[in-house]
Amino acid sequence: MKYVFEMEDLECANCAAKMERDISVLPGVHKVSVNFLTQKMTLEAEDSQLDQILKQAQKICKKYEPDCCIVTK
């Protein structure tokens, strides 16, 4: 399933590319795009693993940009 999440405080295009690279290899992720200009992450992933993927993706974001977070509402 395809999901779109807002990214808060994403301040570096290079960091966004690194986040995208690391998130793309997580189990259950089919495709991911972190867009610095729109401040959005588009994620195609297994529904059953979404919560775990988002937890791991948040850790990856914090690794590159400590103030960045994925808005899951």
pLDDT tens for 44-58 read 999 999 999 999 999
- The CATH class given to the 2-71 domain equals alpha beta
Count CB-CB contacts under 10 A for residue 60. 19
CA angle (52, 31, 5) in 5-degree steps: 60
Look at residues 58, 10, 59, 54 and name the one whose alpha carbon lies nearest to residue 29. Answer: 54
Phi, psi (5° rounding) for residue 60? Answer: -65, -45
- DSSP H stretches of helix in 1-73: 13-24, 50-64
pLDDT, residue 45, reads 97
- pTM (2 decimals)? 0.93
Look at residues 61, 63, 67, 16 and name the one whose alpha carbon lies nearest to residue 37. Answer: 16
